[in-house]
Amino acid sequence: MLESLLITFRETLEAALIIGIVLGYLKHTEQPKMRNAVWIGVGLGIGGSIVGKILFDLLAGGFSGRAEEIFEGITMLVGAGLLGTLIIWVGKQYNSGFNLKDHVGQQLHNRGWWSIMLLVFISILREGIETVIFLSAAGFASDGSGSLIGAGVGIILAIGVACLLFVWSVRLPLHRFFKLSGIILILFAVGLVAHGVHELQEAGVIPIIKEHVFDINPAVAADGSYPVLHEKGTVGSIIKGLFGYNGNPNLLELIAYIVTLIVALTAWYHATRPK
């Protein structure tokens, strides 16, 4: 039960936070009609996850091994690209003028619908299929009602955390909300790039070059359990799922993380600095 709870909590939280940030923009800029783009993206993402898993089970025996790693790597890089464009857009709107609220609302109305829908769709699709994969790998089907309950509780907890953050964030002034959401999106995008590179390396698409540049993971317990801060532990796995944390990265993965972080922060700085 605990394992399925952690899996669904970890995989649901990132998508829920991204949805919460998007809804926060719409709330701040008084664009309630744009919310249908969010919920359409959610519906398409859930439907796509179910259909994709069924089709892959029928045609190729399921997402496993190299196919799973390639799928995860590509969808992570696509998701990072979408988040990157949103980060730049947020920064430009933040520095667009005095009446920020009206300006952002107009920009969302003019060209934001498809971008919002696509971002939410990709987020839900990736997390949905990964959740099914990880639950299957953990023996979800054979664990009975306990795992079903754990999975459900994990989803509810993740949505609850995202809702609390949403309620708190919409009380912030718009300029502070823009700064906070921009930082969160940068961390998401950078983590996705590093994690995507790692998955493609596991699939043999990208070379590893040098394994384990450093290792800060706590030692595994004598009974084989992972400490909470280990990348496979309770807390570490959640941080890894959200921000791409890896306690023992390889050289190319570390380079991808650092370069992406520098590029994203530089772009954010130039987009938001006073003019």
Query: What's residue 251's pLDDT?
Result: 94
List per-block mean pLDDT (blocks of 10 residues) for the chain, which spans 275 residues.
74 82 77 82 89 68 68 82 75 56 53 76 81 62 59 85 82 77 85 89 89 89 86 84 85 94 88 69
Query: What's residue 141's pLDDT?
Result: 44
CA 145 to CA 209: how far, in whole Å?
44
Question: Which amino acid, one-letter code, is at 114?
Answer: W
Indicate the SS3 state at residue 153. Answer: helix
pTM of the model: 0.71
Query: What's residue 256's pLDDT?
Result: 94
Cα distances from 205 to residues 70, 74, 240, in angstroms, run 8, 11, 22
**Burial of 145: CB neighbours in 10 Å, binned 0-12, 13-18, 19+:** exposed
Beta-carbon-side half-sphere exposure of residue 75 (alpha carbons within 13 Å): 21
- Read off the tokens for 146: 């306990």
How many Å is the Cα radius of gyration of the chain? 19
Sequence-distant (≥ 6) Cβ neighbours of residue 168 within 8 angstroms: none
Query: What's residue 221's pLDDT?
Result: 85
Query: What's residue 238's pLDDT?
Result: 82
Question: Which amino acid, one-letter code, is at 212?
Answer: H
